[in-house]
């Protein structure tokens, strides 16, 4: 057994549990501030592994680390005309029966004196804050992790420094091999005497600061002799290098080939480049846009997961991944031959991205997600504002119980999606490398 692989899974699960715990604290704290009675705060599902009671709330951990919850009393209002806390028999209609059962369960813990401590009687903006607190905690945690990533560790980037993995021979792009043969001609870099660790600082008199600069100038020059400025052992040296023309993979589309471009024959060195705090917001903004696009395309991407699970098709690297798949990625990261710095980078990046995705997914304005309750609170605020403007009687509380049939349908769809992801993550997992 590869213990590093197991450790990677454990690290991800611990990070996930911390994320879930903080998400629920994001709900718990404002709920208590606004006076809602919270009988339970739980991390995980299933049977309880450990719990302790503090005041009126039981805090605990359950065995299945796939979520968590806080239980607030009176999430759903009673039927119009009923006194708070009154219970009724279930109606005979199937959908109405679902609504009434949920309404009874919502009110069964309401005790005398709790009439003003039920969730549904809170002001609309308090409901929005309580239900937004969970996703907000995920965004805050994601920002903190991305800050550690960019400012403390840095982003991996390629520097114009000759890598030790650089081949000394010219291998045609059509041949999928990495080792040289006796018949292969030496690269222009090998002929010129470039060595691993040499930093390219100029090309034919033009300054080079990034690997992109070097690639653009080398490819654009074509065949011919140029003066290559390098720094070796702290000293700047100029070497005459005779470039050759080669067919090379396109920089914009790896499936295409650029014909007869300039070729030097060096590989860059990957380095970690630390960023400023100002870059964190931009980095998160770009990722947020990509996650939002993925959520909009989720039905289509789940079709891809189905084909990957049952037809053996390759997994889409930009497609959804479940907890099982993310845990496996954590295991692959720690058991890989990456440097320690890159392992830390990838684990932190995985947890930060997962928190960002969890936060955005929970904002979808559909029950049973937090976004459904937020939408209900906002709608209630709009109705009450309209009533004040038009001087009409204050409207009743928004009864989200009326959409419970849709909620149960969506919950079933989410369970099926989660099961499909687990199956695909087990039998056709997303790999860390191609």
329, HSE (Cβ side, Cα atoms, 13 Å): 23
Residue 401 has pLDDT above 80, yes or no: no
- CA dist 232 and 99 (Å) reads 75
Do the strands 235-249 and 257-263 form a parallel or antiparallel pair, or are they unpaired? antiparallel
pLDDT over 60 at 47, yes or no: yes
d(CA 431, CA 422): 15
Q: Tell me the C-alpha to C-alpha distance, in Å, between residue 387 and each of 121, 123, 128, 219.
A: 18, 15, 19, 68
Q: Report CA-CA distances (Å) from 141 to 18, 30, 43, 69, 211.
A: 10, 18, 17, 18, 33
Angle, to 10 degrees, between the axis of helix 124-147 and the axis of helix 340-362? 170
Those residues with Cβ within 8 angstroms of residue 5's Cβ, 6 or more apart along the chain or in another chain: 331, 332, 334, 335
Kindly state the average pLDDT of the residues 236-257.
86
Q: Which residues are the active-site residues?
A: 24
Q: At residue 326, does pLDDT exceed 70?
A: yes
Q: What is the mean pLDDT of residues 238-248?
A: 89
Write the pLDDT tens digit of every residue in 94-140.
Answer: 544 545 555 555 555 677 777 788 888 899 999 999 999 999 999 99
Distance between CA 307 and CA 428 in Å, rounded?
10
Pairing, β 224-232 against β 235-249:
antiparallel
> For the chain, what are the domain ranges?
135-154+275-434, 160-273
Q: What is the mean pLDDT of residues 36-61?
A: 91
- CATH superfamily of this structure's domain 160-273: PDZ domain (2.30.42.10)
- Residue 57: which H helix or E strand, with range? strand 57-71
Half-sphere exposure of 51 (CA within 13 A, CB side): 18
pLDDT of residue 82: 58
Alpha carbons 394 and 371: distance in angstroms, whole number: 24
Alpha carbon distance 323, 243 (integer Å): 49
């Amino acid at each position: 057994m590869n213990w590093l692989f197991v450790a990677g899974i454990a690290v991800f699960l611990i990070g996930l549990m911390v994320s879930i715990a903080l998400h629920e604290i994001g709900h718990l704290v404002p709920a208590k501030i606004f006076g809602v009675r919270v009988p339970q705060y739980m991390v995980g599902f299933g049977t309880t592994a450990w719990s302790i009671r503090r005041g009126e709330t039981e805090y605990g951990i359950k065995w299945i680390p796939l979520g968590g919850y806080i239980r607030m009393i009176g999430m759903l209002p009673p039927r119009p005309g009923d006194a708070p806390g009154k219970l009724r028999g279930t109606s005979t209609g199937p959908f109405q029966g679902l609504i009434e059962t949920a309404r009874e369960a919502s009110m069964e813990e309401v005790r005398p004196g709790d009439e003003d401590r039920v969730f549904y009687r809170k002001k609309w903006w308090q409901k929005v804050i309580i239900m937004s607190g969970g996703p907000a905690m995920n965004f805050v945690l994601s920002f903190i992790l991305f800050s550690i990533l960019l400012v403390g560790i840095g982003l991996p980037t390629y520097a114009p420094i000759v890598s030790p993995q650089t081949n000394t021979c010219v291998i045609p792009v059509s041949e999928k091999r990495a080792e040289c043969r006796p018949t292969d001609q030496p690269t222009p870099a090998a002929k010129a005497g470039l060595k691993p660790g040499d930093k390219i600082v100029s090309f034919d008199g033009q300054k080079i600061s990034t690997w992109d600069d070097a690639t653009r100038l080398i490819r654009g020059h074509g065949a011919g002799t140029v003066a290559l400025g390098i720094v070796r052992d702290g000293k700047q040296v100029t070497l005459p290098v005779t470039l050759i023309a080669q067919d090379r993979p396109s920089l914009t589309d790896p499936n295409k080939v650029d014909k007869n471009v300039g070729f030097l024959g060096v590989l860059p060195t990957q380095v970690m480049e630390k960023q400023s705090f100002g870059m964190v917001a931009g980095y998160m903004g770009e990722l947020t846009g990509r996650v939002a696009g993925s959520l909009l395309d989720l039905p289509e991407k789940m079709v891809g997961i189905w084909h990957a699970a049952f037809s053996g098709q390759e997994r889409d690297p930009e497609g959804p991944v479940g907890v099982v798949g993310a845990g496996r990625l954590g295991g692959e990261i720690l058991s890989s031959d990456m440097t320690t710095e890159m392992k830390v980078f990838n684990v932190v990046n995985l947890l930060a991205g997962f928190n960002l995705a969890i936060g955005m997914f929970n904002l979808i304005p559909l029950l049973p997600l937090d976004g459904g309750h937020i939408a209900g609170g906002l709608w209630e605020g709009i109705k009450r504002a309209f009533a004040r403007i038009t001087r009409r009687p204050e409207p009743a509380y928004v009864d989200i119980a009326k959409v419970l049939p849709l909620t149960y349908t969506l919950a079933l769809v989410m369970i099926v999606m989660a099961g499909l992801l687990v199956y695909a993550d087990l039998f056709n997992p997303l790999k860390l490398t191609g």
